[in-house]
Amino acid sequence: MSEIIIHGVPGSPYVRMPLITCEEKGAPYRLSPMGMGDSRAPAHLARQPFGRIPAMEHGDFQLYEAQAIVRYIDQVCPGRSLTPADARARARMNQVMGIVDWYVMPSISSGLAFNRVIKPMFGMPVDEAAVAAALPQARTCVAALADILGDQTYFTGDAISLADIAAAAHLDFMPLFPEGRDMLTGSPLAAWLQRMMSRPSLQKTTMAALRAALEPQPA
Amino acid sequence: MSEIIIHGVPGSPYVRMPLITCEEKGAPYRLSPMGMGDSRAPAHLARQPFGRIPAMEHGDFQLYEAQAIVRYIDQVCPGRSLTPADARARARMNQVMGIVDWYVMPSISSGLAFNRVIKPMFGMPVDEAAVAAALPQARTCVAALADILGDQTYFTGDAISLADIAAAAHLDFMPLFPEGRDMLTGSPLAAWLQRMMSRPSLQKTTMAALRAALEPQPA
């Protein structure tokens, strides 16, 4: 099949979601890297009119919206399905993907990880008020996701699904800052996150791995 | 099949999504109505820990997150599927559902409709700055959705899908205020919205119809 091209900034959890999905499916893909400010440039606005990332090209088919992209890759690429067939398991997958978009993104990703991990990387001042404001919802996210995970290996049972990919792309920042480590302590999410982070699909798509792969190689 | 119970506030577009879906599937359902402030009450937080609506019960199965609920109803209820089988059509459906959540909700629903339609109903002051701030993204939403719709009858072709349901639940406020009418003028969304609003599934789930159905009947 033809190569899938993902346009986006390395390090973004939403850009990472389709990259992990391609890795899990064994699909040929390429990250077309963008800088932090490139999402408002005319070339990108032609692909994504809201100026957000990621955007996908697959042959003559263009698509934006991260959930739509990962569901499309799962459907068109050969390999084991990342969407359970059982209605209740699939409902839990979709619920986790919704929890990630509505609650994890504003609290754990934008509130905590952006301030504790990303901003210090770029020498930007940390907004402690935003960190404090994000904590209650972040704790509710961890409790709600742990409740769905229970004693299962992955969110929908023994095999990974798009739910694990969406959640791991956001939650793998948590061990990098004290509030995140505190919330994971004693939660079944801690062992789940270790399982996810040990998968090649996650290891090949960390911000560090993506940046290293993009650097010019010595001759 | 057993009755589907939807907990939520009549008038909320996210509560309306599963109600329209049940109507389109011909599934037995009941709205368990909540008041504006009930979403933070312990009884609801036990169903939905983030204090948002809707939440669903189907026999012993409980589920929250509007997208997960409508996808579940579509899968388990007999009747014509509201999810196209073709990968590109399904991708457009998922894309529209994403556009609704990420961009239509904050601009057209929270920014415009809440200030121009809902607040005046309850005698609350209109935030004109919020209206002005929402307009650019609202216009991008209308352009992006019109681009996907093109000259098709519905977002994914000749038959309605979950995309039409999600979008109509939010956009049907637009004819009720001047900025909304202006944006629809000359857009293919105007005729699409008329088609959607003429469907029994939409007519039976307007805020007025839901409220009338909940009122005590004369003896």
Segment A102-151, tens digit of pLDDT: 999 999 999 999 999 999 998 999 999 999 999 999 999 999 999 999 99
pTM, to two decimals: 0.97
The backbone region for A81, taken as left when phi is positive above 0, alpha when psi lies in -120 to 50, beta otherwise, is beta
Supply the ipTM of this predicted assembly. 0.96
Residue B162 DSSP one-character state: H
The answer to whether the Cβ–Cβ distance between B88 and A61 falls below 8 Å is yes
Dist CA A109 CA A55 (whole Å): 20
The pLDDT of residue B88: 98
Tens digit of each residue's pLDDT (9 = 90 or more) over A184-200: 999 999 999 999 999 99
pLDDT tens, residue order, chain B (219 aa): 799 999 999 999 999 999 999 999 999 999 999 998 899 999 999 999 999 999 999 999 999 999 999 999 999 999 999 999 999 999 999 999 999 999 999 999 999 999 999 999 989 999 999 999 999 999 999 999 999 999 999 999 999 999 999 999 999 999 999 999 999 999 999 999 999 999 999 999 999 999 998 887 666
**Residue A7: enclosing H or E segment and its boundaries?**
strand A4-8
From B179's Cα to the closest Cα of chain A, the distance in A is 20
Run of H or E residues at B210: helix B207-214
A127 touches chain B (CB under 8 A): no
Residue of chain A minimizing CA distance to B93: A68
At residue A192, the pLDDT reads 98
CB contact under 8 A, A98 and B61: no
Which residues fall within 8 angstroms of residue B129, CB to CB, at 6 or more apart?
A: none
- Which residue has tokens 């789940």? A192
Task: Write down the residue that tokens 């004109």 correspond to.
Answer: B128
| Residues of chain A neighbouring B50 (CB-CB closer than 8 A) | 99, 102-103, 137, 140, 144
- Residue B57 contacts A, CB cutoff 8 Å: no
By the CB < 8 Å criterion, does A106 face chain B? no
